[in-house]
Amino acid sequence: MNNDELLKKVTEKATLWLGDSYDAETRAQVKAMLDADDKTELIESFYKDLEFGTGGLRGIMGAGTNRMNIYTVGAATQGLANYLKDTFKELPRISVAVGHDVRNNSRHFAEITANIFSANGIKVYLFDGPCPTPEVSYAIRKLGCQSGVMVTASHNPKEYNGYKAYWSDGAQMIAPHDVKTIEYVNAITSVDQIKFTPNPELIQEIGKDLDEQYLADIHKLSLNPEIDRKHHDMKIVYTPIHGTGLRLMYDSLRLWGFDNVIHVEEQDVQSGDFPTVVSPNPENSEAMAMAVAKAKETDASLVLASDPDADRVGLVVRDKNGEYQLVNGNQICMLLLYYIITNNVEQKRLDGSEYVVKTIVTTETIKRIADANKIKCFDCYTGFKWIADVMRNMESIGRYLGGGEESYGFLAETFVRDKDSISANSLIAECAAWAADKGMNLYELLVDIYAEYGFSRERGVSVVRPGKSGAEEIVAMMKNFRENPPKTLAGSRVTCIKDYADLNCRNLITGEIEKMNFPTTSNVLQFFTEAGDKVSVRPSGTEPKIKFYVEVREDMPSKDKYEEIVAAAEKHIDKVLEDLGVK
């Protein structure tokens, strides 16, 4: 499609938004875009419709079919409502849970969502205020709902918002439900098809009672309550980074026995503007800076954080010199699974049915830990809906110990089916107390794990390519990697290529092709080298990015060489990225 055809298409779509079915504010915004000499904003707002990706619906807020607003949220909700009514027509009453984070417009979008569901005769359990994403998953399961929605854009910048759709098991949708919902949403071709007028009798607010049940269930995950009590005064800094962790995290740590939790008061303020950070992402050192400063001021043992919807975690520990070091998502997942597995072994709780789950881009060290303890380790696609899919398939035949991914998400329980920072941070605190009981801190425990199971180092790099031209560039980059894959990376021969688009694993040494067992295809490429390195490449499902995940192996002859090996591994990763043409 050339530029003239594109402009004609978006102009026709935008003109429809000038009709009386749209509110005055929306009409004014669209008219301004149509009248502007520069049509960039018009094109970006209307060149496509928002679609469900690995995290559901997500986009910049504003007017347009490619933006988050009451009409795109409304169409998604009406489509989902129609699908639920067709799927569960035998039920006397369909019910859903609806929650939201602290972002600008999140409460408004959640209320619009609740209104539309109720207008369609669906019972709605609406949270009374900002809540963690995992608590919506919990509510769906606890209240016996058929679906649920969480209005959130997770850790994205403040101009974004999003809409996560869940199914009856409390997990985000996968096929066929995500595909079917899209079909039903696409059938909403006019705003007049959306039922905006609510039935208040079908909307019930939920809050404190569910909070207490949720926290009580999370506390049952504790593996060492006596050690928690013994180290109750361990200094822990926690920050919700202006988000929903404020609702439950302090209470959870207190329930687990930790009574010396230090606040970062400026970041306890819930605000969709995230005033103290550039981006509210706990994997970024900038977002953790105020909490680290508070830790230095108070001589705290560790720093915990959660992102705005409290599903992702952040962790900072003290190294052997007393300096505070950010722990990456792979290490957090590895640390928690090591703790859970080791304590299950020590407490003789294993019966042979146990399993753990990690995503294909998460560190392979986890598999080595699981294998050494005779525990099954499943690989799945990126996104907790795929971890939940493994849990669903293993429901009656295995005992879930935990699962996670490199992007700072972990799930320790089965009563939630999405990543959960409330339970993860509680377990991290307990793990720190357990390590302290052995005369170590978490940094030293990490080094011990590497010494026992082998050293690896990981880095994720996201190349941002916004807009229509960016999307086309990302497609071209993936095409080039498939047609011209690297022959060597960091001086080591590429020996295997896994392409999840056709589920073929190609052994470049023998020429053999093996089919991989995954529930569906995915636009992901992986390269493996003789040196034991792994590189994964995939476009993001929720953001205008192409992501590179690099994991390298290095020999670590002794624990006192750890810092040297880390430095060598970072140079190793630099070389891999250079060979991939990533800057």
CB 425 within 8 A of CB 410: no
CB 575 within 8 A of CB 531: no
Q: Which two tokens stand for residue 32?
A: 């301004």
User: Residue 464's beta-bridge partner residues?
Assistant: 545
Q: Is 468 helix (H, G, I), strand (E, B) or coil?
A: helix
Q: Which two tokens stand for residue 471?
A: 């999307």
Distance between CA atoms of residues 284 and 279, nearest Å: 8
Q: Is 506 helix (H, G, I), strand (E, B) or coil?
A: strand
Cα distances (angstroms) measured from residue 452 to each of 77, 449, 455, 559 = 50, 5, 9, 10
Distance between CA atoms of residues 428 and 363, nearest Å: 19
Distance between CA atoms of residues 540 and 549, nearest Å: 12
Distance between CA atoms of residues 432 and 427, nearest Å: 9
Q: One of 154, 421, 456, 536 is an active-site residue; which one?
A: 154
Distance between CA atoms of residues 160 and 107, nearest Å: 14
DSSP 423: H
Task: Report the candidate in 327, 209, 310 with the shortest Cα–Cα distance to residue 250.
Answer: 310
CB 194 within 8 A of CB 78: yes
Task: Report the candidate in 187, 162, 169 with the shortest Cα–Cα distance to residue 97.
Answer: 169
| Residue that has been written with the tokens 């991290």 in this structure | 428
Q: Which two tokens stand for residue 326?
A: 């950010």
Task: Report the candidate in 311, 249, 314 with the shortest Cα–Cα distance to residue 303.
Answer: 314
CB 83 within 8 A of CB 164: no
Neighbours of 469 (CB within 10 A): 10
Q: Which two tokens stand for residue 167?
A: 């199914």
* β pairing state of 123-127 and 203-206: parallel
Question: Is 154 among the residues known to form the active site?
Answer: yes
What's the start-to-end Cα distance of the chain, in Å? Answer: 30
Task: Report the candidate in 501, 533, 538, 280 with the shortest Cα–Cα distance to residue 405.
Answer: 538
Our CA angle for 359, 365, 370, nearest 5°, is: 85
Q: Which residues are catalytic?
A: 154
